[in-house]
Amino acid sequence: MTAPPGTPPPPPAPPEPPAHPLAGGRPGPEALRPLLDTVLEALHSGAGERRGPIPAGGPDALAARVTAALGDVLPEKGHGDHEALRTLVHTLAAGAADPADPLCAAHLHGPPLAVAAAADLAASALNPSLDSWDQAPAASTIEALLTRALAREFYDTPRPDALVTTGGTEANQLALLLARERHGPGLTVLHGANAHHSVPRAAWLLGLPTTTSLPTPTGTLDPARLAEALAATTGPVLVTATAGTTDAGLIDPLEPIADLCERHGADLHIDAAYGGLLALSPRHRPRLAGLARARSLTIDLHKLGWQPVAAGLLAVPDTALLAPLAHQADYLNAPDDTEAGLPDLLGRSLRTTRRPDALKIAVTLRSLGRDGLARLIDRTCELAHHLARLLDAHPRFELHAPPTISTVLFRPTDTDDTDLAALRRTLLHAGHAVLGRATADGRLWLKATLLNPHTTPRDLDLLVTLLEGSSHR
């Protein structure tokens, strides 16, 4: 039938679906399966090429190898899924500082458990976004159950709660934000010089007065010095204490600090990003006495929880303390939807689009249970004590102090700070070991941060042997 004159032509048919498969939906798993084989092979071959905790050669040599491997990052014509995965995953693995290697022990950068990484794949494939219930129906409930369960590990209160964060930095920022909303912009923040750098930075970001940093010559916050500062400070105060410093893994005296905060009417926040999960271990939980007296807690599960980054928490004793974070946007949490029973998720973070990081944590807890995680924590701490004993008994090394958690500070004897810094870089450039550095007692120390529960005493013997040879070349 001929269309009448002047009738516009019909719109063109939509193009055929693209050939590249999606990760979700019913076909997603079958599309992923062969790609995962390629990824796993590339991870294996890349680690084999690296042959150690970090690639040898230093930054310039590695950058040249990566640049040569990638070539044109945005080619005119694609190379296909398998070639792209093989090339880039192999290059990434070959050039990684791999925290699963026992001699990669510089930072609070832990090796993730395989079960957690596998769960993270499901989160990536399904891609829930926790800014509205209709984007994450099951994920939002998993997160709610997880955060309440973990908050109960730290607070024996009727309505404890926690928010999932990207880590300690975001959690500390949220803690200061909530304190500012309780007390106003004139809030004074007191912390030790041992506090994480994110605390003063958060005050700057939030427009608060410059924080007051109290000297910590022994590495922990001195209650007597804090008492003097509290007595000299007028107006509302937030005290930030630390349970697991980044330099030596030290824990502030939490009970005396909590007593002082109570006496002076100050709020207490404890940054327990490193040490907080010691609470899961009956052996180590007593070290955290006073933790539950904090108005807020920072906890990281990508440290002693062995999660892929990112996996942080901000925990509070009562969910009402999170009320200032409430926010409304019609397209995500319209009032009538909320009144009709759709969960309002915007007050659970300052972020909008947000991954379901709770999934990998929940899978890990279900897989290992409290006792399984406690065994990993206990073993990791014992490995640090084993290394400390080796170094303390060795005539060529000086141990700073027995470890509090899993960080060991030490240095070769008869070595100045310049030579010690050069020794660390020599080990890095050779690809032999990744060690950190910290300043204590006015001197520079090498830092071994042990977070790998699969490390063996033989691995630690090898580390000492490498250090012994490298420090006397």
How many Å apart are CA 374 and CA 378, to the nearest integer?
6
Please classify residue 382 by burial: count the beta carbons closer than 10 Å to its beta carbon, then call 0-12 exposed, 13-18 middle and 19+ buried: middle
Provide the greatest CA pair distance for the chain: 100
Tokens linked to 222 = 């001195």
- What's the pLDDT score for residue 3? 65
At residue 473, the pLDDT reads 42
Residues 271, 199: Cα–Cα separation, whole Å: 9
Beta-carbon count within 10 A of 24 CB: 16
Gap between the Cα atoms of 354 and 258, Å rounded:
34
pTM: 0.94
- pLDDT, residue 37, reads 98
User: What's the pLDDT at 12?
Assistant: 79
- DSSP code, position 88: H
Residues 268, 198: Cα–Cα separation, whole Å? 16
pLDDT per residue as tens, the chain (473 positions):
566 777 777 777 777 777 799 999 999 999 999 999 999 999 999 999 999 999 999 999 999 999 999 999 999 999 999 999 999 999 999 999 999 999 999 999 999 999 999 999 999 999 999 999 999 999 999 999 999 999 999 999 999 999 999 999 999 999 999 999 999 999 999 999 999 999 999 999 999 999 999 999 999 999 999 999 999 999 999 999 999 999 999 999 999 999 999 999 999 999 999 999 999 999 999 999 999 999 999 999 999 999 999 999 999 999 999 999 999 999 999 999 999 999 999 999 999 999 999 999 999 999 999 999 999 999 999 999 999 999 999 999 999 999 999 999 999 998 999 999 999 999 999 999 999 999 999 999 999 999 999 999 999 999 999 998 765 44
- Cα gap 124→338, rounded to integer Å: 27
pLDDT at 9: 77
Instruction: For 170-192, give the DSSP string.
Output: HHHHHHHHHHHHHH-TT-EEEEE
CA distance 191 to 241: 6
Alpha-carbon gap, residue 424 to 427, rounded angstroms = 5
CA distances (Å), origin 202, targets 93, 114, 177, 335: 34, 33, 8, 31
DSSP 234-254: -S-EEEEEEBS-TTT--B--H
